[in-house]
Amino acid sequence: MTACTTQVVIIGAGIQGSAAARELAARGVDTIVLEADYAGRHASGVNAGGVRTLNRHVAELPLALASKKLWQRISEMVDDDCGYRQTGQLQIAIDEESFERFRIRNGEIARAGLPHMERLLTPSAVRELVPDFVGPLAGGAYVGDDGYALPFHTTQAFRRKAQALGARFIEGATVNAAMNGGSEWCLSTKEGHEVRAKQVLNCAGAWATEVGKLFGDDLRIKPNGSMQIVTSRLPRFLSPVVGITGQSIAAKQFENGTVVIGGGRRSPVDIDIRRAELTLPGLVLAARQAAKFFPLLNEAIVVRCWSGIEGFTPDGLPLIGFGNAPNVVHAAGFSAHGFQLGPAVGMVLADLITVGRSSISLDPFALDRFQET
Ligand SMILES: Cc1cc2nc3c(=O)[nH]c(=O)nc-3n(C[C@H](O)[C@H](O)[C@H](O)COP(=O)(O)OP(=O)(O)OC[C@H]3O[C@@H](n4cnc5c(N)ncnc54)[C@H](O)[C@@H]3O)c2cc1C
């Protein structure tokens, strides 16, 4: 049982909560993070590690581009390189229609005036990048300075740096009640902790809707499982991270030769017991599809697979902003692409807490966009 007082309490020590804690602590703000399990236990620690601006929703690109700049100085931010590698990310179009969508998208990016370019590649340029690809090929879209990082390692690095700067983390602390006492909030946990704070950040990932209700907000984030496969080591054949349009397949090969296959195969979750299930048919399909495009994978064995719990919004964009109750900020619903955004989300949340606004527009992430009028 712990009772303490702080300026800011953060609920959830995933990448968003830990990055916000690091930034708040760096700005001298007294911060406590309450985490139901342990830092990085859920989506932030078990994701595919893709650090990708390629093919992101145009409305999300300003935040993703700000994050890319932070990733490029990640060692300086958290005293750890987080396994960050700018290997490039490639999206392959296997038919003309998909390739045409890349062209349209580049037009949208240009019209939005964003300093971002997704290089369109001819089939032969794609083959040069991924000589082992087999299958129909209309072209590709490529961002050379995208890449990947190690997710659990990264989340822990943010947490360690936040702690070094003075933030306190309490693990095994599941927030289940919140009372507004006028000038401060009093949060209680299932395990018996009590924390009083002037400001609250809800970074509870797939549980953010339940946490939001404690503050009277209806966030409409739905939990879902997302599955991954890791293979045995293979000779080097994949340099960029590769996605294949319309196939729910993404693959990356780490420096040790193992290949992570993901790309959005969903599975059921039980958020009460905090577990995601693996569904064999989905895994088999993902493995078969990946091996169809990269036959070398037929020589690998599956050494590990898992499913991580993620919170999804109806439009796939996160919810970031102030709730209805005073001094409460929500940041959740990252819909399977929030790892890359983490460093910038940490900055944005610290801005909301310390100055009440963000220099990056949060309009696309408005909390009330799903409310019926
Ligand atoms: C399999 C998989 C692959 C993915 N691949 C990628 C990728 O390649 N690139 C990318 O950018 N993104 C990817 N994502 C998405 C990314 O992992 C998430 O968007 C991101 O990690 C969300 O971070 P978070 O901090 O909001 O949530 P989480 O990491 O889920 O953290 C939320 C934390 O809140 C805690 N919590 C919940 N309720 C409470 C409570 N009541 N009290 C206290 N603590 C609580 C939880 O225990 C949890 O630790 C993937 C996700 C999955 C599942």
Say what the pLDDT of residue 288 is: 93
- For the chain, helix, strand, coil in percent to 5 are 35, 30, 40
Would you say residue 59 lies in a domain?
Answer: no
Q: Of 266, 281, 312, which marks where a domain is finished? A: 312
Give me 303's structure tokens.
Answer: 């050494």
Nearest to 343 by CA among 28, 116, 89, 76: 76
Could you tell me if 176 and 137 lie in one domain?
Answer: no
Could you tell me if 267 and 327 lie in one domain?
Answer: no
CB-CB contact of 332 with 55 (8 Å): no
In the structure, what pLDDT confidence band is assigned to residue 302 with cuts at 50, 70 and 90?
very high
Would you say residue 252 lies in a domain?
Answer: yes
Q: Does residue 373 register a pLDDT over 60?
A: no
Would you say residue 280 lies in a domain?
Answer: yes
Nearest to 263 by CA among 227, 307, 213, 316: 227
Could you tell me if 249 and 126 lie in one domain?
Answer: yes
- What are the backbone dihedrals phi and psi of residue 90, each rounded to the nearest 5 degrees, phi first? -125, 130
Would you say residue 72 lies in a domain?
Answer: no
Would you say residue 67 lies in a domain?
Answer: no
Higher-confidence residue of 263 and 207: namely 207
Q: Does residue 39 register a pLDDT over 90?
A: yes
Report d(CA 349, CA 31) in Å as an integer: 13
CB-CB contact of 147 with 84 (8 Å): yes
Residues with CB under 6 Å of ligand 1 are 11-17, 34-37, 41-44, 46-50, 174-175, 203-207, 211, 226, 228, 262, 308, 310, 332, 334, 336-340
Could you tell me if 214 and 189 lie in one domain?
Answer: yes
Would you say residue 63 lies in a domain?
Answer: no
Q: Which residue's CA is minimally distant from atom 3 of ligand 1?
A: 47
Could you tell me if 12 and 36 lie in one domain?
Answer: yes
Nearest to 59 by CA among 114, 103, 117, 98: 114
Could you tell me if 132 and 236 lie in one domain?
Answer: yes
pLDDT digits (tens, 9 = 90+) for 42-83: 999 999 999 999 999 999 999 999 999 999 999 999 999 999
Could you tell me if 251 and 107 lie in one domain?
Answer: yes
- What are the backbone dihedrals phi and psi of residue 33, each rounded to the nearest 5 degrees, phi first? -110, 125
Nearest to 307 by CA among 242, 262, 249: 262
pLDDT digits (tens, 9 = 90+) for 160-205: 999 999 999 999 999 999 999 889 999 999 999 999 999 999 999 9
Mean pLDDT of 326-349: 98
Report d(CA 106, CA 347) in Å as an integer: 28
Would you say residue 61 lies in a domain?
Answer: no
Could you tell me if 157 and 305 lie in one domain?
Answer: no
Span of 138-142, 284-288, 350-354 with lowest mean pLDDT:
284-288
Could you tell me if 234 and 216 lie in one domain?
Answer: no
* Enclosing domain of residue 236: 86-146+223-312
Q: By percentage, how much of the chain surpasses pLDDT 70?
A: 99
Span of 24-38, 94-108, 221-235, 253-267 with lowest mean pLDDT:
253-267
Mean pLDDT of 311-328: 97
CATH number at residue 346: 3.50.50.60
Q: Tally the residues of the chain.
A: 373
- As to burial, measured by CB atoms within 10 angstroms (0-12 exposed, 13-18 middle, 19+ buried), residue 113 is exposed
Could you tell me if 128 and 235 lie in one domain?
Answer: yes
Q: Which residue's CA is minimally distant from atom 13 of ligand 1?
A: 337
Q: Does residue 372 register a pLDDT over 80?
A: no
Would you say residue 16 lies in a domain?
Answer: yes
Say what the pLDDT of residue 164 is: 98
Ligand 1, pocket-test mutation among 153, 207, 215, most atoms within 8 A of CB: 207
Ligand 1, pocket-test mutation among 37, 68, 337, 349, most atoms within 8 A of CB: 337
Report the number of distinct structural domains present in the chain. 2
Could you tell me if 95 and 157 lie in one domain?
Answer: no
CB-CB contact of 341 with 306 (8 Å): no
Residue 251 CA: distances (Å) to CA of 34, 309, 328: 34, 20, 38
Looking at every residue in the chain, the average pLDDT score rounds to: 96
Could you tell me if 291 and 330 lie in one domain?
Answer: no
Say what the pLDDT of residue 116 is: 85
Sequence-distant (≥ 6) Cβ neighbours of residue 235 within 8 angstroms:
257, 296
Strand pairing of 31-35 and 3-11? parallel
Q: Does residue 125 register a pLDDT over 80?
A: yes
Q: Of 274, 297, 312, which marks where a domain is finished? A: 312
Say what the pLDDT of residue 117 is: 85
Say what the pLDDT of residue 1 is: 60
Say what the pLDDT of residue 371 is: 79
CATH number at residue 286: 3.30.9.10
Q: By percentage, how much of the chain surpasses pLDDT 90?
A: 95
In the structure, what pLDDT confidence band is assigned to residue 37 with cuts at 50, 70 and 90?
very high
Q: Which residue's CA is minimally distant from atom 35 of ligand 1?
A: 12
The ligand 1 atom at the shortest distance from the C-alpha of residue 12 is: 34
Q: Of 263, 295, 312, which marks where a domain is finished? A: 312
Sequence-distant (≥ 6) Cβ neighbours of residue 245 within 8 angstroms:
91, 92, 93, 94, 98, 101
- Which SS3 state, helix, strand or coil, does residue 150 take? coil
